[in-house]
Amino acid sequence: MQSIYNLTVKDLENYFTNIGEKKYKAIQLYEWLYQKKVRDFSLMTNLKKDIISKLKEDFTIKDIKLVTKTSDINTSKFLFNLDDDNKIEAVLMYHNYGNSLCISTQVGCNMGCSFCESGRLKKVRNLQPYEMVLQILKVEEITKQRVSHLVLMGIGEPFDNYKNVINLIDIINHPKGLALGSRHITISTCGIIPKIEEFSNYDKQVNLAISLHAPNDELRDKLMPINKVYPISKLIDTVKKYTVKTNRRVTFEYIMLKGVNDRVSMANQLSSLLKGINCYVNLIPYNETSHIEYKKSDINAILKFYDILKKNNINVTIRKEFGKDLKAACGQLRANYEEEL
C-alpha cells in the first residue's frame, strides 16, 4: 500500500470517482490531513464508515521517525529515519520574515560536488512525495511552528527526482494542502539543463536557484562534475531562455571557498557572465566540515567580492550563516551519524 501523503488532489478526485464517490471527498480528506493534521482515518468524522474502511484498505498514513535534533539560536536540524532505515535531514532556519525549511529530496546524491557533504554518501534512491511532505509535517509537529517557506536544497538533486518533486509542490501548494505559496518555495539545482527547460513549462510561480559556485568551466569542472555534461555557456543560455519565458528571476548560489573561487578576477568574470540576466547572486559563506578540505573565505574577501558584483550592477546578497556549530552542512549530520555506528 502507498502512503496517502503521496496523492495530489487530482489523484484523490480520480480515486473517489473510481470507487463511486463524489470527487469533493478529496478536499474533505485533504482538510483532515493538512489543515487539521489528523493521522487516523477513523477520526475523519465527515467521511462515511465505508469510505474510511476503503481508505484503510488502500492507503497507509506512514510516518517518519525523528532520530536526533540539534538547535542553536537561529537554526534547528533534524535527522529522520525512513521505513527502510535510510536517514535524511531537514534544517529549519528562523528569519524575521518567517520559518524556512530546507528539505532532502533523495537518500544520498550522485552529483559529486567536491565541496558538498551530501555527495560523500552516494545516492541510494529517490524520496517519494510523502517522505518529503512528512519532513514538513514532522518539523511543524516537533517545533509547534508553521513552516512559511520551503527550500529544496538538502540532501539530493531535486531535478534528479523531478516527477516526485513536482507532485510534492502540487500537494503543499494546494489551498487545502499546506497552502504554501508558490513564491515561498525554492528549488535548487546544480544545472540539469533538460529539467530546467521542462520546469519552464510548469504553471506555478516557484523560485529557481542555480548552484553555480564558479565563473568558468575550468574551475567548475573541478568543483562540480555536472559541468562536464552541461557546461556554463549552455547553462547560462538555458537560464536566459528560462527567465524570458517565465518572467521569473533566478538566483545563482555561490559558495565562497577560501583561495578557490573568491578572487577579485573571479568576481569580475562572474559579473560579465551574468550581465543582463534577470537574477541575483547569493554569496554563501562555506559551512566547513571535518571531512572536506575547503575553508570558508575570509570576510574581507567576501565583502570585496560583493562590492565588485554590486559595482557591476549585479543584484547580490550575502547569506546569513546558519547552523555552523550544528553540523548543518548538507548531509553532514547524516554522514556523521552513519560513521559513528
CB 188 within 8 A of CB 204: no
Report helix, strand or coil for 238: helix
Number of neighbouring beta carbons within 10 Å of residue 299: 11
Which runs of E-coded beta strand occur in the chain?
Answer: 2-3, 59-60, 65-71, 75-81, 87-95, 98-103, 106-107, 125-126, 149-152, 185-189, 207-211, 250-256, 279-285, 315-318
CB 149, CB 100: distance < 8 Å:
yes
Q: Which entry of 13, 89, 131, 253 is annotated as an active-site residue? A: 89
Q: What is d(CA 80, CA 117) in angstroms, rounded to the nearest whole number? A: 17
CB 172 within 8 A of CB 150: yes
Residue 330 is a catalytic residue: yes
Options 157, 198, 330, 340, the catalytic residue:
330
Residues annotated as catalytic (active site), given as ranges: 89, 330
